[in-house]
Amino acid sequence: MSLLLIDIGNTRVKWARLVDGKMSPQQAAANAGWTAADYARRVIGNVWASGGKGIRSAAATVGVDASTTPSVARAVSRSAGAAANIASSRRSAAVDAEVTSARRSAVAASVSNRPQRAADIDVPTGTLAGDRIVVSSVAGDEVNRALTDAAAKAGAPTPEFVASERTAAGITTDYIDPWRLGVDRFVAAIGAHHLSSGQPVCVVNIGTAMTVDLIDGSGRHRGGAIVPGPALMVSSLLDQTNGIRRRAKGGPAGATGMFAKSTRNAIGEGARYAAAGVIDRALEEARILVGTRPLVILSGGGSVDIKPLIRSTCVSLPDLVLHGVAVWAHQSPSTVRRAPATGRPETAGTRQPTTTPTQGRQTSRSEGPQASRKRRPVV
């Protein structure tokens, strides 16, 4: 059994292969303007041209090596040094005592300075029939159609688009309307809960928007917050003001820090500290709800700049969404529903209140309104 896991965001596409429980390193690319041919060449490749027989060799070329890459959990349990590094990164012995081996796996994968290699995410093998392409996408109809067309042209399995729903893969969301929860947040919650092994976890994704989601130890998604990401904060100030925009151009930048000495740095540092402040406050609120301070997992391209400013202990896991997609795929059987004419894959963002099967694999019972074809940030 092998999976091609794909995470399509607002500006980038990320993907990895999962073969016999081993995940290859995540790959990523900016995908603005990509056609079906681009997705076929860059993401799907030609590994299905011979009925899928080439997928294992293709996975080997991107770093899957069972002899040199033990599972993260086993590596951590065998390495006293890794455990010591994790413990030293904790600011409280009480917090460290609560960390399970699975949580240590997530930390070890993120704190290592070595290039990340394939990780065992503990997805049992031998339980899924055949190869699959499983996708988390917030990019909209046009992009999803291009990916579906690319798979068809490559002779690959029809992509399955994950959709947010009330309960799936160990997660139950408190969202009033589950389909309104961005699918990237939904699968990130699945991945985080799986890695945390029953401990509360706060998932923070920092991109165009910054989202903060809380999942308690039972897998209940308690809700979340959405705020502009740091880059969006900066651009909104520059776009919506005249004086600030004029004063931010040129001149010396000065030292960084909360109290900047130039308008340019005041905007950038203000956005960074604002994002970090939201995260720290969210953790205080989370502790009230769940009775303990949760583990914090950071993902998204903007997390690198914000992590040093967060007062709470946190770890980075750039491929968290792909982990969640893999766990979801293991617990969700593959089903196909087709419509003869539309050629539109169905996702959480494209569904109508009434069920209208469309091309691509239907993966949820959730229903929602028609999404605009215009590519805009979806959270």
pLDDT digits (tens, 9 = 90+) for 36-61: 999 999 999 866 654 444 444 444 33
The set of residues, in sequence order, having a beta carbon less than 8 Å from that of 241 and lying 6+ positions away, is none
Which residue positions in the chain have pLDDT lower than 50? 50-129, 336-376, 378
Place of tokens 């240590």: 104
Q: What is the pLDDT of residue 243?
A: 87
CB atoms within 10 A of CB 69: 18
Give the tens place of pLDDT for each residue, 109-168.
Answer: 333 333 333 344 444 333 334 689 999 999 999 999 999 999 999 999 999 999 999 999
Q: Share the mean pLDDT of the chain.
A: 73
Q: What is the pLDDT of residue 256?
A: 80
Q: What is the pLDDT of residue 47?
A: 60
Q: What is the pLDDT of residue 93?
A: 29
| Residue 184 annotated among the catalytic residues of the structure | yes
- Beta strand pairing status for 12-19 and 27-30? antiparallel
Q: What is the CA radius of gyration of the chain?
A: 21
Query: Exposure string (b/e) for 80-106, b if CB count within 10 Å is 16 or more?
Result: eebbeebeeeeeeeeebeebeebbbbb
Query: In residues, how long is the chain?
Result: 379
CA distance 282 to 224: 9
CA distance 302 to 245: 22
Q: What is the pLDDT of residue 43?
A: 93
Q: What is the pLDDT of residue 48?
A: 63
- 328 with 168: CB under 8 angstroms? yes
Q: What is the pLDDT of residue 245?
A: 85
- Considering the candidates 184, 213, 216, 319, report the single residue annotated as catalytic: 184
Q: What is the pLDDT of residue 313?
A: 85
Q: What is the pLDDT of residue 357?
A: 34
CA distance 167 to 175: 11
CA distance 347 to 137: 8
CB atoms within 10 A of CB 288: 7
User: In Å, what is the CA distance from 311 to each residue of 214, 237, 306, 317?
Assistant: 18, 26, 10, 18
Read off the tokens for 347.
């996702």
Assign 351 to helix, strand or coil. coil
Q: What is the pLDDT of residue 107?
A: 37
Instruction: Count the alpha carbons within 13 Å of 327 in the hemisphere toward its beta carbon.
Output: 23
Read off the tokens for 315.
């770890």
Place of tokens 């990019």: 139
- 363 with 351: CB under 8 angstroms? no
The amino acid occupying position 18 is L
CA distance 345 to 6: 14
E strands of 156-267, at which residues? 160-161, 167-168, 171-173, 201-206, 209-215, 220-228
CA distance 183 to 350: 12
Question: At 120, which helix (H) or strand (E)?
Answer: strand 119-120
Q: Which candidate, 25, 111, 117, 116, places its Cα nearest to that of 316? A: 111
